[in-house]
Structure 1
Amino acid sequence: AARLGATLLLERLDALIRRGRLAETSTDRSSPLTAREQEVLLLLALGRSNRQIGEELYITGKTASVHVSNILAKLGAASRTEAVAIAYRQGLITREETVG
């Protein structure tokens, strides 16, 4: 899908992989975030609200809010935007993951 430039298909495949938790577990121990926090961070970078994050990950908006708060604390960020900027700088997310 990526090679063909089928971005809508790629987004839907990524969402399916996240919902089914089919993604390989990262062996990179340098990330301070849990696997679920990484998923939430990626959706933050895509500009999703807590409610939207909850819908995409099949959790409540409140649970998404808790994950966001944990991400902010772990990255030492004061805002969602700052957390995403820090995550880019630290290599926790890449441009390829967030281009939609």
Structure 2
Amino acid sequence: MGKTSNLLVGFIAGAAVGAVLGVLYAPAKGSRTRQRIREDADELGERTREAVTERIDGIRREANGFLGKLRARLERLEEELDKELPSEPDTSQDERDTDYD
């Protein structure tokens, strides 16, 4: 896992533990406590979705950059091969001279 991934996992775990401890130690009615747990879970879920989306977008950008570099390299290799390999002789004249009778 990369540094960013570890940071993300730590952040999510810390938020979850903090939310649970905060709710458990705060005096409130059962219905209010359940509502707060639900709200905290929804917020944590949203933050997690945002973090995952950002990471996926970053991976896509990196992949697109890599593919662009790979395509450019392949084009350069193709050009080098075209220069190095002899061209095929033109056989069209030979085919016209062939007598099929």
Shorter-chain-normalised TM-score: which range?
under 0.3
Please give the TM-score of this superposition, normalised by the length of structure 2. Answer: 0.25
Greater helix percent: which structure? Answer: 2
Q: Which has the larger radius of gyration?
A: 2
